[in-house]
Amino acid sequence: MFGNYQHSELRIEVDANEQQLRTALTETANLRQWLWPQQLSAGMPGQLQEGTLFSSWSGPIEVQHHIDVLSSNGIRFVLSKGIDGYHEWFWGEGWIQSRLEGITLLPLNFGQTLTLLRLQLFLQQPKL
């Protein structure tokens, strides 16, 4: 893999409980909403589980995701193709933390910051 080794760890406060955060990070319909304009592969299960494989695209760049670990308050994606590394999410009452590490040409910290901000905005939307 070409690129530089990069790592980034960010934690923010959110107006959400643990269940809302788990739902936002593990239900495909929710992921598609708050990750937009990033695209997710077709045919994904409605609920992510350990062992799930899928791809995402940011423009022409594909990143393959394999869910390695899924617990009540965390999920870890092993990444390949556009990023060789991993992305971990941990959450609790009113907070979420993202740790991203890998070799890539992409600016990981910038992308991770935008992703967290999109998630925070998604969680602020009134639910019907």
Beta carbons of 4 and 109 less than 8 angstroms apart: no
Amino acid at position 88, single letter:
E
Q: Which amino acid is at 62?
A: E
pLDDT digits (tens, 9 = 90+) for 89-115: 999 999 999 999 999 988 888 989 999
- Tell me whether residue 78 is exposed, middle or buried, using C-beta atoms within 10 angstroms of its C-beta: 0 to 12, 13 to 18, 19 or more: middle
Count how many domains the chain has.
1
What does pTM read for this prediction?
Answer: 0.91
Going by C-alpha positions, the residue among 86, 63, 97, 90 that lies closest to residue 75 is 90
pLDDT of residue 2: 79
Mark the ranges of the chain whose per-residue pLDDT is less than 70: 1, 127-128
Cβ(108)–Cβ(102) below 8 Å: yes
Angle (nearest 5°) at CA 36 between 18 and 63: 90
**Residues of the domain holding 71:** 4-124
**Tokens coding 78:** 């092993």
CATH number at residue 81: 3.30.530.20
